[in-house]
Chains A and B, each alone.
Chain A
Amino acid sequence: DIVLTQSPLFLSVTPGEPASISCRSSQSLLHSNGNKCLDWYLQRPGQSPQVLIYLGSNRASGVPDRFSGSGSGSYFTLKISRVEAEDVGTYYCMQALQTPRTFGQGTKVEIK
């Protein structure tokens, strides 16, 4: 199985400030078709997870443009340009290259 390692595991951010979460994979997530098979999900308190970013850098429908994904090979980053109160929750990366799909441990984000 592909192992995903996120860092940091906990992030405390001031509203309006940027935030960044990284996800390192145990192997390259580059598909033979050129897709970077890494997604980002946010699980707000009391809610189901929702997709933020798919295939490395594509924002899902309805996701604010303050969220961006980047990276290649086995190292990926989720950036929030200006954190807002509604961004609290746990962020997960997930690899979509192979079955079984696997998730990172999660990064809990709180607002100062």
Chain B
Amino acid sequence: QLQESGPGLVRPSETLSLTCSVFGGSISGSTYYWGWVRRLPGKGLEWIASIPYSGSTYYNPSLRSRVTIFLDTSKNQFSLQLSSMTAADSALYYCLITGRTDSYYGMEVWGQGTTVTVSS
């Protein structure tokens, strides 16, 4: 299971920090890709970033200049930082398993999502 946490409200130009806690399994040594997807109002789903245990990072080019994804294996968590937030970044953010390094079964496990609103 995956559980997102973070602020529900962010001011324009600030940096969003979201954390995903992993339950029932360990990030360390896993063969999963851990990642983030957001659902933008009226615009559907957008993949943001993914990271496997090796630490290689994969970013959506449309967000690359503003996004960072990283693992914290000591806490069994992974996190997303998105800088220079604007109203266009207001969305429902999901953490999820986006794939595996040794096979593929789709984006298998999703968190319940956390709503982020950008407003002053």
A residues lining the B interface (CB < 8 Å): 1, 35, 39, 41, 48-51, 53-55, 58, 60-61, 92, 94, 96, 99-106
A96 to B103, CA, bound (A): 12
Interface size band for B: 20 to 34
Q: Which residues of A contact B47 (CB under 8 A)?
A: 100-103
B29 within 8 A of A: no
Asked whether, in the complex, the Cβ of A51 is within 8 Å of the Cβ of B108, the reply is yes
A98 to B48, CA, bound (A): 13
Q: Which of A50, A101, A104 interacts with B44 by CB under 8 Å?
A: A104
Binds A, one of B9-17, B19-27, B55-63, B71-79: B55-63
CB distance from B5 to the nearest CB of A (A): 15
CB distance from A57 to the nearest CB of B (A): 12
Asked whether, in the complex, the Cβ of B46 is within 8 Å of the Cβ of A48, the reply is no
Across the two chains, which residue of chain A brings its CB closest to B111? A48
B residues lining the A interface (CB < 8 Å): 37, 44-47, 50, 58-62, 94, 98-99, 104-108, 110-113
Asked whether, in the complex, the Cβ of A60 is within 8 Å of the Cβ of B45, the reply is no
Asked whether, in the complex, the Cβ of B110 is within 8 Å of the Cβ of A49, the reply is yes
Across the two chains, which residue of chain A brings its CB closest to B2? A48
CB distance from B110 to the nearest CB of A (A): 4
Among the interface residues B46, B98, B105, B111, which one has the most CB atoms of the partner chain A within 10 A?
B105
Q: Which residues of A contact B59 (CB under 8 A)?
A: 100
CB distance from B109 to the nearest CB of A (A): 9
CB distance from B37 to the nearest CB of A (A): 8
Q: Which residues of B contact A39 (CB under 8 A)?
A: 106-107
Among the interface residues B61, B106, B111, which one has the most CB atoms of the partner chain A within 10 A?
B106
Q: Which of A35, A51, A103 interacts with B45 by CB under 8 Å?
A: A103
Across the two chains, which residue of chain A brings its CB closest to B64? A100
Sampled A-B contacts (11; CB under 8 Å): A41-B45, A48-B112, A50-B110, A51-B105, A51-B106, A54-B106, A58-B105, A60-B106, A61-B105, A99-B58, A106-B44
Asked whether, in the complex, the Cβ of B104 is within 8 Å of the Cβ of A48, the reply is no
A64 to B62, CA, bound (A): 36
Q: Which of B46, B104, B107 interacts with A55 by CB under 8 Å?
A: B104
